[in-house]
């Protein structure tokens, strides 16, 4: 099998464009990768997401992070319930640690060298009500909002096809997940790892510490700088070198739980390139799409997976708890219903 490190490279065209046999074969390939490694690199998905769209997403991402800090700071991320807006370097510390004290200690030792822009579904015109709005640099980068809303929709379609392939291969019926993810409670994250002096990061600073993802599946578009490492069964981190025209797909904790541990949410991290002599590390951009079930979807272990290992949990309660742990300065609890009502009124939605 073709692979990058331990991550298999799989063509999606058999599922997207093939006959029933090809469709099932590709779906099984995907399922096996998600069971064994929890990661795969998907290629040949242009019928859903054309190449040009990914190229443009990277260009728009670079333009955004090149805006002055005073502009980006006006768009600051506010709370895990919204999970939208700009996050300065060092604020989030992705980790498996769960106490606020432990996380504060880790953050002081080795800050994550990055800035991000978090984008959610733009619900204004949609069927689902939400008090939360995206934060856009309308004056400075007017084409950012329409492009990113379209890119979000395209990522949703690609993620939906992946969920359909998994559902088909698990004998749940291809459309099992369709009405459980249609709220599009996903998070599109643009990332910028600035070029920094290598000296400053001696002592093992990583671009993103070892972690698992929270939701169902993550789509990761990387540039050619690379740095992603995926943990193997022995606990070693194995580099997954970027492969042109592929998207990295990995399983998150909530889908592992939903699948009763049939699918694997695997630890991974982003390291600085070791093999370059320059005193400055190269800038890296990546774009991640973290997909989630509908917020009030009850996650109970799927049929055909044996005796349930987990209690049912509601998506929103689970995600807000996980996000509250990595952004410890904000409250862990969801807003009360009356807070939501006030906020709705204020924002007129
Ligand atoms: Ca990740």
Least confident of 155-164, 236-245, 286-295, 329-338: 329-338
Determine the pLDDT at residue 298: 97
How far apart are alpha carbons 83 and 118 in whole angstroms?
7
CA of 214 to the centre of ligand 1 (A): 9
Determine the pLDDT at residue 342: 34
CA of 255 to the centre of ligand 1 (A): 14
How far apart are alpha carbons 65 and 191 in whole angstroms?
9
Per the CB < 8 A criterion, the answer to whether 73 and 186 are in contact is no
CA of 224 to the centre of ligand 1 (A): 17
CA of 216 to the centre of ligand 1 (A): 12
How far apart are alpha carbons 7 and 14 in whole angstroms?
19
Determine the pLDDT at residue 277: 62
**pLDDT grade, residue 345 (50/70/90)?**
very low
CA of 66 to the centre of ligand 1 (A): 23
CA of 339 to the centre of ligand 1 (A): 31
Q: What is the three-class DSSP state of 151? A: helix
Give CA angle at 233 (37, 111), nearest 5°. 85
Reported as type and span, the H/E element at residue 58 is helix 51-65
CA of 215 to the centre of ligand 1 (A): 10
> Taking residues 258-269, what's their average pLDDT?
97
Looking at the predicted structure, is the pLDDT value of residue 335 above 50? no
CA of 233 to the centre of ligand 1 (A): 18
Please name the residue that has the structure tokens 């953050």. Answer: 107
Looking at the predicted structure, is the pLDDT value of residue 58 above 70? yes
Looking at the predicted structure, is the pLDDT value of residue 122 above 80? yes
Determine the pLDDT at residue 131: 72
CA of 266 to the centre of ligand 1 (A): 9
Looking at the predicted structure, is the pLDDT value of residue 110 above 60? no
| Reported pTM | 0.86
Per the CB < 8 A criterion, the answer to whether 193 and 112 are in contact is no
CA of 331 to the centre of ligand 1 (A): 23
Per the CB < 8 A criterion, the answer to whether 243 and 41 are in contact is yes
CA of 317 to the centre of ligand 1 (A): 20
CA of 286 to the centre of ligand 1 (A): 11
Look at 122 and 112; give whichever has higher pLDDT.
122
**pLDDT grade, residue 150 (50/70/90)?**
very high
CA of 89 to the centre of ligand 1 (A): 16
CA of 345 to the centre of ligand 1 (A): 35
Least confident of 144-153, 194-203, 228-237, 263-272: 194-203
CA of 288 to the centre of ligand 1 (A): 8
CA of 91 to the centre of ligand 1 (A): 16
């Amino acid at each position: 099998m073709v692979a990058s490190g331990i991550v298999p490279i799989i063509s999606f065209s058999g599922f997207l464009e093939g006959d029933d046999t090809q469709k099932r074969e590709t779906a099984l390939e995907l399922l096996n990768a998600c069971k064994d490694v929890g990661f795969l690199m998907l290629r040949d998905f242009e019928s859903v997401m054309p190449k040009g769209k990914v190229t443009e997403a990277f260009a728009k991402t670079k333009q955004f992070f090149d805006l002055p800090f005073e502009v980006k700071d006006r768009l600051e991320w506010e709370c895990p319930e919204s999970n939208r807006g700009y996050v300065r370097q060092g604020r989030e510390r992705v980790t498996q640690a769960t106490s606020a004290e432990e996380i504060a200690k880790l953050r002081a030792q080795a800050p994550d060298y990055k800035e991000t822009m978090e984008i959610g579904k733009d619900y204004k015109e949609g069927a689902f009500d939400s008090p939360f709005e995206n934060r856009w640099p309308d004056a400075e980068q007017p084409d950012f909002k329409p492009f990113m809303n379209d890119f979000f929709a395209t990522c949703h379609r690609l993620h939906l096809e992946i969920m359909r392939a998994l559902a088909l291969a698990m004998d749940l019926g291809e459309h099992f997940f369709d009405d459980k993810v249609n709220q599009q409670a996903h998070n599109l994250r643009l990332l910028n790892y600035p070029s920094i002096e290598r000296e400053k990061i001696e002592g093992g600073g990583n671009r993103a510490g070892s972690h698992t993802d929270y939701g169902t599946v993550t789509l990761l578009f990387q540039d050619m700088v690379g740095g992603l490492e995926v943990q193997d069964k022995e606990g070693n981190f194995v580099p997954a070198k970027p492969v042109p025209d592929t998207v990295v797909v990995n399983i998150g904790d909530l889908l592992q739980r939903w699948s009763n541990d049939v699918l694997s949410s695997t630890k991974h991290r982003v390291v600085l390139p070791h093999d370059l002599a320059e005193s400055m590390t190269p800038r890296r951009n990546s774009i991640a799409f973290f997909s989630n079930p509908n917020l009030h979807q009850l996650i109970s272990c799927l049929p055909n997976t044996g005796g349930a290992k987990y209690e049912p949990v509601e998506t929103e309660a689970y995600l807000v708890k996980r996000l509250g742990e990595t952004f410890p300065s904000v409250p862990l609890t969801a807003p009360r219903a009356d807070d939501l009502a006030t906020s709705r009124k204020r924002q007129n939605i």
